Amino acid sequence: MQPGQILGVTVQPGQEQAFRAAAAAAYRRGALFVDPFYFDPDVKRSRIEHADPETLDFVPPWYPARLLALAERNDARLAFAGVAVPNALAGLDPALAGRDQLPSLKEAGRVISERATNWCALPVPTRPWAELVYPGLDPEAAYERLWRDVWHILRLDEPDPAAAWDARSQELKRHATALDERRFDAIELRGEGTDLTVGLLPTSRWNGGAFETRSGVEHFPNLPTEEVFTSPDPLRADGHVTSTKPLVLRDGTILRGLRVRFEGGRAVEVDADENGAALRARLEVDDGATRLGELALVDRRGRVGPLETVFYETLLDENAASHLAFGHAFPFAAGEQEAGRVNESGIHIDFMVGSPELEVTGVTGAGERVPVLRRGDWEI
């Protein structure tokens, strides 16, 4: 948070107390204004139940205008992750629900790619979320347990949390550098239900840890962040993958048993044991939605994976396991001459494919196969 910046905050029901604390902290640091954006999954349910289906893809123009104004000013953004209303859209037509993309905005990918804002997404527990994660506990005990786990995941139990994150950032950057130096042509993912080869661009760059905005402000886009990621070649993904954790969309829809088959870079089959139609509807938003925009590798040295807990929140679950993302890619994860080749889309949806059994192998242009991750440990 920099003096004179506006802070835009995305908040859900049950997170109001955390928002007020964040606002007070921001003003103490010289914020010009703190602007909350509330998203209520129950209101989205009412829209899908009662509104004209032909209007569900309408987004009020001031929503993207607000985001783009923050970007133009090089302001700050904070997004509170977590589940406010589990299964808020249960019982509705998943295909119909998928037409309403909110709270996601297609302009968000561009703002991230341009590094226009210093921003951070972080988990803020709610009571309904706690009961979803720990169904065997008393509601109050579940709420306290989720706070303890989040406190640990965010390294707030360290004597100096900021220093602990700086150290983890440097560790992730070392792994990214090692991958860059190998200049792999492709990455193979092999595990139970997964046999996928993802092609890389000749100048694909691996990233991890802290980032800098275009105006030079260092920040962590996500807390926690345990991944090393790149933007793959959108035309080269072949094989099949099975998700190892439930995927929870931002409106609370839970997908279980996700299975995807790729041919020539495009997802040609998308199925799931639960709510597969909701994801298929989101993948119809544009031509790039069925192609990959991210390949992320996660080791077992982070704080999320060792807890062996499904958090039903992508921000946490994606930092427990290697993952892929449909849709928008990051031009900064490729060289200047190939930045225009990365995938473009109005969505970015991560799904987890990693596990201790997943074998990640790098393939060179000459066909040499080099172990990258085995049993969750780096091999390079």
Considering the chain, what percentage of its residues have pLDDT values greater than 90? 81
Whole-angstrom distance between the N-terminal and C-terminal Cα of the chain?
36
Candidates 301, 205, 193; CA nearest to 242 is 193
- Average pLDDT on 314-318 reads 92
The lowest-confidence range among 110-124, 229-243, 323-337 is 323-337
Q: Which two tokens stand for residue 240?
A: 């099949």
The token pair at 141 is 């005990």
pLDDT at 97: 83
**Side-chain half-sphere of 250: how many Cα atoms within 13 Å?**
20
What per-residue confidence (pLDDT) applies to 99? 85
In eight-state DSSP terms, residue 195 is: E
Tell me the C-alpha distance between 289 and 280, whole Å: 10
- Is 0.85 topped by the overall pTM? yes
What CATH number labels 6-153?
3.40.1830.10
Instruction: Give the Cα separation of 270 and 286 in Å (integer).
Output: 16
With tokens 């396991």, the residue in question is 321
Query: Which of 100-104, 146-150, 186-190, 306-310 is predicted least confidently?
Result: 100-104
State how far Cα 223 lies from the chain centre: 11
Contact 159, 207 (CB under 8 A): no
DSSP 235-252: T-EEEEEE-SS-EE-TTS
Give the side-chain half-sphere CA count within 13 A for 307.
21
Q: What percent of the chain has pLDDT over 70?
A: 100
What burial class does residue 140 get, using C-beta atoms within 10 Å of its C-beta: 0-12 exposed, 13-18 middle, 19+ buried?
exposed
User: If we measure between CA atoms, which residue out of 265, 263, 266 comes closest to residue 283?
Assistant: 266
Backbone angles phi, psi at 240, to 5 degrees: -140, 155
- For tokens 């239900």, the residue is 193
Distance CA 332, CA 205 (A): 8
Cα–Cα distance between 40 and 51 in angstroms, integer? Answer: 16
Burial class (CB in 10 A: 0-12, 13-18, 19+), 301: middle
Q: Is the pLDDT of residue 95 over 90?
A: no
Q: Could you give the CA distance from residue 268 to residue 323 in angstroms, rounded to a whole number?
A: 19
At 9 the pLDDT is 97
pLDDT of residue 39: 94
Q: Average the pLDDT over each of 63-77, 159-173, 318-332 and give the range with the smallest value.
A: 318-332
303 to 300, 353, 358, 377: CA distances (angstroms) = 8, 18, 19, 14
Q: Is 90 helix (H, G, I), strand (E, B) or coil?
A: coil
Euclidean distance between CA atoms 155 and 100, whole angstroms: 35
Residue 251 has pLDDT above 80, yes or no: no
| CA-based nearest residue to 323, from 191, 204, 202 | 191
Average pLDDT estimate for 208-231: 95
**pLDDT-based confidence at residue 282 (cuts at 50, 70, 90):** confident
The token pair that represents 57 in the structure block: 């893809």
Most confident range (mean pLDDT) of 77-86, 138-147, 345-354 is 138-147
Ramachandran area for residue 334 (φ above 0: left; ψ -120 to 50: alpha; else beta): beta
Confidence of residue 187 (pLDDT cuts 50, 70, 90): very high
Band (98; pLDDT cuts 50, 70, 90): confident
Structure-token pair, residue 278: 């909701």
Mean pLDDT throughout 49-55?
95
Mean per-residue pLDDT over the chain, rounded: 94
- Is pLDDT at 361 greater than 80 in this prediction? yes
Lookup: tokens for 223:
């807390």
Strands 227-230 and 218-219, sheet pairing: unpaired
Q: Is the per-residue pLDDT at 283 higher than 90?
A: yes
pLDDT for res 3: 97
3-state secondary structure of 269: strand
Instruction: Return the domain boundaries, the chain.
Output: 6-153, 161-210+223-378
Q: Residue 359 pLDDT > 90, yes or no?
A: yes
Q: How confident is residue 119, by pLDDT bands cut at 50, 70 and 90?
A: very high
At 307, is the pLDDT very low, low, confident or very high (cuts 50, 70, 90)? very high
**Mean pLDDT (whole number) for 178-185:** 96
